[in-house]
Amino acid sequence: MKKIVTKAILSALILSAANEALAGNKDRSGQAGATELLINPWAQSTGVFGLDVANVKGIAAMKVNIAGLSFSDNLEVGVSHSRYLSGTGIAINNAGIAYRLSETSVLGVNAMSMNFGEIDVTTVDAPEGTSGKFKPSFLNVSLGFAKEFSHSIRGGVNATFITEQIGNIGAVGASIDAGIQYVTGKDDNLHIGIALRNAGTNMRFSGGGFASESPSVNDPSYNVVRMTPQEKFQLPTYMTLGLAYDFYLDEKNRQGDAKPFHRLTAIGNFTSNSFNNDYLGAGAEYAFKERFMFRTAYRYERDIMNKLKSTSFYTGLSMGATISTQLGKAGPMLALDYSYRPTQRPANGVHVIGLRFNFMDKATEDVTAP
């Protein structure tokens, strides 16, 4: 009965994703706001361009597919730093924590802020800049919950509070993510995932920055302050569907329940965007004893290879690596992640570095094949 229900849920979600893909409208490209919601700040995931919707695990899942949060152990803590479009001075700082509430439930919190540095204040009368400066500030705080419904199926929901402040104007909003992951196969090596992200409220900027002072129409002897009304904007909603398959390269040398030394995971993904081009991507991750990992991917979108027509500053390629070790026999697992995504000129790529601590219930022993 559980298998029937699971297949019914997956079929419904896949059909929903297909419907979303057909409903896309390229004429709406660029009309959404709060596009920082599209940024994945975790180096572990961006090494494959965020295509790992089917097999992402831990706190990184809060920015890809919230269902993967359910794989977190007792306590997981992570931080990351991104040099966004290296050379522009834009930086992204991110922190997350996941805590296991029960054998099947995990709660997560993620906070991401963007720093644009100091920007000169310019006016109509002083287009070259005045002596004043301002600092834009974007902050997203997410609260996620994921649950393991059975050995094969996991799901979760994620709520994000959005705030954008630019000088003396600002906007606030909220969004909801939902996702599901399904695992099957002899060694649980076939992964299917689907996620809907950034479905939420409209946003509108307001504040004193939209006020202007001018002479009164009825009596020019005094001035009146007028507020310029602002239009609402929508969030960059998208739906993504992914597949992943684990190949254990030393399968024949395994003994009992020992884990293989060598794992190669193939990843495929399709993303339907409401306000951007749709994405189609593929990638791979190689792991040695689950301690050293190397990954790469390519994400294709319409006209990405045409420099005159491309609407993306990415070239489509991504790459990354992870080094993981246990701190002592009973200490936490420590993982250092790095990813790089080259961009079209004049930008010099996006570098992301992250650090994760995984505090397990008890010390784990290596059960890898000899």
The yes-or-no verdict on residue 4 having pLDDT over 80 is no
Instruction: Identify any residues that bridge with 139 across adjacent strands, giving them in sequence order.
Output: 113, 163
**pLDDT, mean of residues 151-175:** 93
Q: Where are the chain's structural domains?
A: 2-24+44-201+236-287+300-359
User: pTM above the 0.95 mark?
Assistant: no
**Cα 66 to Cα 296: distance, rounded to the nearest angstrom:** 22
Please provide residue 335's backbone torsions phi and psi, each rounded to the nearest 5 degrees: -125, 130
How would you label 200-212 residue by residue, b for 16+ Cβ within 10 Å and e otherwise? Answer: beebebeeeeeee
**Cα 239 to Cα 196: distance, rounded to the nearest angstrom:** 4
C-alpha distances in Å from residue 150, one per residue of 104, 105, 147, 294: 9, 11, 9, 30
**pLDDT, mean of residues 3-32:** 52
Q: What is the pLDDT of residue 21?
A: 43
**pLDDT, mean of residues 355-368:** 67
Identify which has the larger pLDDT, 257 or 348. 348
In the chain, the amino acid numbered 96 is G
Average pLDDT of the residues of the chain: 86
The yes-or-no verdict on residue 9 having pLDDT over 80 is no
Q: What is the DSSP string of 267-298?
A: EEEEEEESSS--EEEEEEEEEETTTEEEEEEE
- Neighbour tally for 42: CB within 10 Å: 28
Q: What is the pLDDT of residue 367?
A: 41
Out of 27-36, 66-75, 175-184, 200-209, which region has the weakest mean confidence (pLDDT)?
27-36
C-alpha distances in Å from residue 220, one per residue of 56, 184, 223, 224, 318: 64, 76, 7, 9, 61
Q: What is the pLDDT of residue 368?
A: 44
CATH for 2-24+44-201+236-287+300-359, among 2.60.120.200, 3.40.640.10, 3.40.50.1820, 2.40.160.40?
2.40.160.40
pLDDT tens-digit map of 326-343: 988 888 999 999 999 999
Out of 220-224, 247-251, 311-315, 353-357, which region has the weakest mean confidence (pLDDT)?
220-224
Out of 7-16, 85-94, 243-252, 335-344, which region has the weakest mean confidence (pLDDT)?
7-16
**pLDDT, mean of residues 73-79:** 94
**Cα 8 to Cα 16: distance, rounded to the nearest angstrom:** 12
Q: Predicted confidence band at 369 (pLDDT cuts at 50, 70, 90)?
A: very low
C-alpha distances in Å from residue 12, one per residue of 15, 115, 238: 5, 40, 17
Which residue stretches of 209-269 are H helix?
none
Handedness of CA 335, 336, 341, 346 (dihedral sign): positive
Please provide residue 350's backbone torsions phi and psi, each rounded to the nearest 5 degrees: -120, 120
Residue % of the chain over a pLDDT of 90: 55
> Residue 11 corresponds to which tokens in the numbers above?
């079929």
**pLDDT, mean of residues 59-80:** 95
pLDDT tens-digit map of 174-229: 999 999 999 998 889 999 999 999 999 999 998 888 887 778 777 777 788 878 88
In sequence order, what are the residues at sequence separation of 6 or more whose Cβ sits closer than 8 angstroms to the Cβ of residue 123? Answer: 130
Task: Check whether the bond before 346 is cis (ω within 30° of 0).
Answer: yes
**Cα 99 to Cα 107: distance, rounded to the nearest angstrom:** 5
Q: What is the pLDDT of residue 133?
A: 81
Residue % of the chain over a pLDDT of 70: 87
Which among 45, 74, 115 has a CA at the least distance from the CA of 321? 45
Q: Predicted confidence band at 29 (pLDDT cuts at 50, 70, 90)?
A: low
The yes-or-no verdict on residue 245 having pLDDT over 90 is yes
Q: Which residue has the tokens 């701190």?
A: 327
> Residue 1 corresponds to which tokens in the numbers above?
């009965």
Q: Where are the beta strands (DSSP E) in the chain?
A: 75-84, 90-100, 105-115, 119-120, 133-134, 137-148, 153-166, 169-184, 190-200, 206-207, 211-215, 223-227, 238-248, 262-273, 279-288, 292-300, 317-326, 333-341, 350-359
